[in-house]
Structure 1
């Protein structure tokens, strides 16, 4: 039986690298997968899943109007849906991926952030936490050596930003993965 998976972590934990490895493993065994990433994330160009380690691969782009059930119906025989930047999924899309797994018997493995820079859940992450059959927290570390669980937005002077839009795309120059203590003390 197929499942809906949510693999989450703070930034820089290797989520995209892990997704690319899973895709490779399926394809190496002759299975066809569909890779998706959010059109919101343009750090490495729209339509690419890119690891900080170097591997990069083209992917389909999803936005708030993407209908995963229709896409699956249009291309039968897909062994797995792999979703990067899953925090940007809508509630309805997560429900559709749940249906895809449980009714369509196609696993959906979603990789993304759990919370934003203010410690608030993203819509997609909240729904994945509610519906996922299996959840795995991927680990990374804070500068202090503890497990990083938070994403701290910083300004040009490396000072913590506490206000602003939930979504502001950026890499290491805009965000730091930190533990709860460092998040609170900054």
Structure 2
């Protein structure tokens, strides 16, 4: 029985690399996989790319949801990266793929933004996913990091601004909740 998965993690938890490795495992077994990401992720058009250099072609989620269920029925798995940028209707469509076509949909993304607010896609995945898993990474102190801090050029935390700032990996660090709350981005 297929499930809707939400695999979330803070920045640097290897979400995209994990997505690409899962796709590789399916393909190695002769299965047909479709990779997708939301159009809001404009860093590389038509490519799902991880920081460690893994990459595969992908389509946009917005194009995926326009396809008929018959067109999608040929896939054994659908993998969505940057799922936090999905809309409620996208996530609802993922539930139809799982429930009506028995196709597993595995979504990867951030749970919260740099202000600890849920993203729309993450909120609905947390509400509707059959299985929710955290991909772990660590804070500078060694504790589990679950918070995404946006920092300025001097390494100080930023508390205001647009929810989304693409292509600025150097502007984000992962922190444990204690250091996020204390606004401590590294050892003194």
Aligned residues: 183
Corresponding position of 2:149:
152
| 1:134 maps onto 2:149 in alignment | no
TM-score normalised by L of structure 1 = 0.93
Unaligned runs of at least 5 residues, structure 1:
none
Q: Distance in 2 between matches of 1:73 and 1:47?
A: 23
Q: CA deviation at 1:80?
A: 0.6
C-alpha deviations, 1:150-176, integer Å up to 9, x for none? 100111111111011111113431100
For the 8 Å contact 2:111–2:118, the answer to whether it is kept is yes
Cα 1:171–1:145 change in 2 (3 A) is farther
For the 8 Å contact 2:73–2:101, the answer to whether it is kept is no
Q: Distance in 2 between matches of 1:71 and 1:18?
A: 28
TM-score normalised by L of structure 2 = 0.92
For the 8 Å contact 2:61–2:90, the answer to whether it is kept is no
The equivalent position to 1:175 in structure 2, one of 172, 175, 183, is 172
| 1:143 maps onto 2:127 in alignment | no
CA RMSD of aligned residues (A): 1.4
| 1:112 maps onto 2:126 in alignment | no
Corresponding position of 1:16:
16
Q: Residue 173 of structure 2: SS of its match in structure 1?
A: strand
Corresponding position of 1:39:
39
Q: Residue 70 of structure 1: SS of its match in structure 2?
A: coil
Cα 1:75–1:100 change in 2 (3 A) is closer
Q: Distance in 2 between matches of 1:73 and 1:163?
A: 44
Q: Distance in 1 between matches of 2:16 and 2:182?
A: 29
Q: Residue 170 of structure 2: SS of its match in structure 1?
A: coil
Cα 1:67–1:54 change in 2 (3 A) is closer
Q: Residue 173 of structure 1: SS of its match in structure 2?
A: helix
Q: CA deviation at 1:95?
A: 0.9
